[in-house]
Amino acid sequence: MSFSGSSNGVFMIFWVMLAVLLNGVISFAYSVRAAGDTTLPWAILAVNFVFFTGITQTGAAFSAIMRLTKSEWGKSYSRLAEILTLSFMPVAAIVFIILYVFGTGRLFYWANPVGAHGNPWVGRGLFFWRNVITNALFYITSYLYFSSGRREEADAQHFIESREKAQAWYGLKKRLNILAGAVCFFYVIANTAIAWDFGMMIIPEWENSIFPPYFWSGNLLSGAAFVFLIAFFFMPRGHGKGMDKGALDSMGTVFMGFVLLWVYMFWSQHIVLWYANVPHLMEPVFKQMSGNFAPIFIFMLLTIFVIPFIALLFKRLKRSTNAMAIIAGLICAGIWVNRYLMIIPIFSDGGEWIIARWTNISLIFGGLASTILSLIVFFRLFSKRFRLPGIGQR
């Protein structure tokens, strides 16, 4: 089913997703109003903000990586990946502003005037502007990259008409390569700022130089998996045709590479903390894998590393559309749990099964609904200008 199609199915998806989104908004608002201590509802919102912003921002970075590595098979996914980033930008901005205005005092120890600190890097103003500036630079660069890519596609069939047009077209391709590098650069900068603020600076006096790469390597993995899932369900392809086997195999290789990158960063972070044996640095990390959090920590390792790694060793599974979709879904679930463990243990001992709260479930599906709604609205507004190629189309 295509986002830009005129079938009744698209309209049904739109209204169902809108209802799911409204349920998430209402559930969150009710939990904040009814709770005596509203810290956990705000923490759950932060978990979903970090997760969905991360996977959608990865779309442009994924496309840029495909271009820089000259991966022709990636063209089937790149345009959708770029649109995923740009269409979700308003949602990310709105949720960040809500968190900044209403949730800062609940989530960040430095926002509490009672808790004195001597770090000039923290504070409401710096928190706001470093995230706004770094993310604005990323989204602006992503838009320039996206618009230049559409111009390249429009001019490709005419470049041989004259020598001047050919030179202009090759100049455009050079510009796109530069913009692709800039997208990757600002992707790392923006995600590093989010990792600092929502992963490190919610813990008093906690620092870890490995944590930002660990954070955005997880975004690369889950973002690539989410792009595949969106393509699996919504990108047009010929009647009765599956995804291109070569593209599937290549995407499986990308999954494997990002799985290994993530587990390397995971190991690097934990082995350094364990070796240093500094209690105030070790405690927040090891709390995530012990006590009441141990079962979901094990689930995280299984879904991000163990199951995908073993499954992707088999070419038959890498070339199976359904198997790849299952692997991608497990990866996304595992990274969401990783973000949950990054934030929630700071505010809870895990005695209450917060992950199964209706507010949490509603926000997960609300975040997914907002992502799909953003794509539908984008294609409804710009369907004549930006059409998706079929799966496996070169």
Q: Answer for the pair 193, 310: CB distance below 8 angstroms, yes or no.
A: no
Look at residue 394 in the predicted model and tell me its pLDDT.
39
333 Cβ neighbours under 8 A, 6+ residues apart: 303
Burial of 356 (0-12, 13-18, 19+ CB in 10 A): exposed
Q: Answer for the pair 57, 191: CB distance below 8 angstroms, yes or no.
A: yes
What is the three-class DSSP state of 141?
Answer: helix
Pairwise CA distance, residues 126 & 124, whole Å = 6
Report the mean per-residue pLDDT for the chain. Answer: 86
Mean pLDDT of 42-69: 95
In the block, tokens 């006590």 appear at 291
In the block, tokens 């996304």 appear at 332
Look at residue 393 in the predicted model and tell me its pLDDT.
45
Look at residue 84 in the predicted model and tell me its pLDDT.
94
Q: Answer for the pair 385, 232: CB distance below 8 angstroms, yes or no.
A: no
Look at residue 68 in the predicted model and tell me its pLDDT.
93
Pairwise CA distance, residues 259 & 269, whole Å = 15
Inform me whether the pLDDT recorded for 144 exceeds 80.
yes
In the block, tokens 């169902």 appear at 16
Look at residue 285 in the predicted model and tell me its pLDDT.
83
Inform me whether the pLDDT recorded for 239 exceeds 70.
no
Inform me whether the pLDDT recorded for 4 exceeds 80.
no
DSSP for residue 158:
G
What are the CA-CA distances from residue 123 to residues 113, 128, 131, 156, 219 (Å)?
A: 11, 9, 12, 49, 26
Look at residue 238 in the predicted model and tell me its pLDDT.
52
CA dihedral 273, 274, 275, 281 (to 10 degrees): 40
279 Cβ neighbours under 8 A, 6+ residues apart: none
If pLDDT is split at 50, 70 and 90, which confidence band does 151 have? confident
Q: Which of residues 184 and 355 earns the better pLDDT score?
A: 184
Inform me whether the pLDDT recorded for 21 exceeds 90.
yes
Inform me whether the pLDDT recorded for 201 exceeds 80.
yes
Backbone conformation region of residue 240, classed left if phi is above 0, alpha if psi is from -120 to 50, else beta:
left
What is the token pair recorded at 172? Answer: 């455009």
> pLDDT tens digits, residue range 260-314?
999 999 999 888 888 877 777 888 888 888 888 999 999 999 999 999 999 999 9
Mean pLDDT of 325-353: 91
Inform me whether the pLDDT recorded for 115 exceeds 50.
no
Mean pLDDT of 207-231: 93
- Fill in the amino acid letter for 145: Y
Inform me whether the pLDDT recorded for 8 exceeds 70.
no
> Of 284, 292, 297, 269, whose CA–CA distance to 343 is shortest?
284
DSSP 361-376: HHHHHHHHHHHHHHHH
Mean pLDDT of 229-239: 72
Look at residue 18 in the predicted model and tell me its pLDDT.
94
In the block, tokens 């587990």 appear at 263
Q: Answer for the pair 141, 181: CB distance below 8 angstroms, yes or no.
A: no
Look at residue 109 in the predicted model and tell me its pLDDT.
83
Calculate the CA 377 to chain-centre distance: 19
Look at residue 269 in the predicted model and tell me its pLDDT.
86
Pairwise CA distance, residues 243 & 392, whole Å = 6
Tell me the CB-side half-sphere exposure of residue 19, using CA atoms within 13 A: 6
What is the three-class DSSP state of 49?
Answer: helix
Pairwise CA distance, residues 350 & 369, whole Å = 28
Helices 211-234 and 245-276: crossing angle in degrees, nearest 10, is 160
Of 76-85, 107-116, 171-180, minimum mean pLDDT range: 107-116
Of 13-17, 112-116, 300-304, minimum mean pLDDT range: 112-116
89 Cβ neighbours under 8 A, 6+ residues apart: 139
Look at residue 62 in the predicted model and tell me its pLDDT.
96
Backbone conformation region of residue 79, classed left if phi is above 0, alpha if psi is from -120 to 50, else beta:
alpha
Look at residue 392 in the predicted model and tell me its pLDDT.
45
Pairwise CA distance, residues 107 & 342, whole Å = 13
Inform me whether the pLDDT recorded for 37 exceeds 90.
no
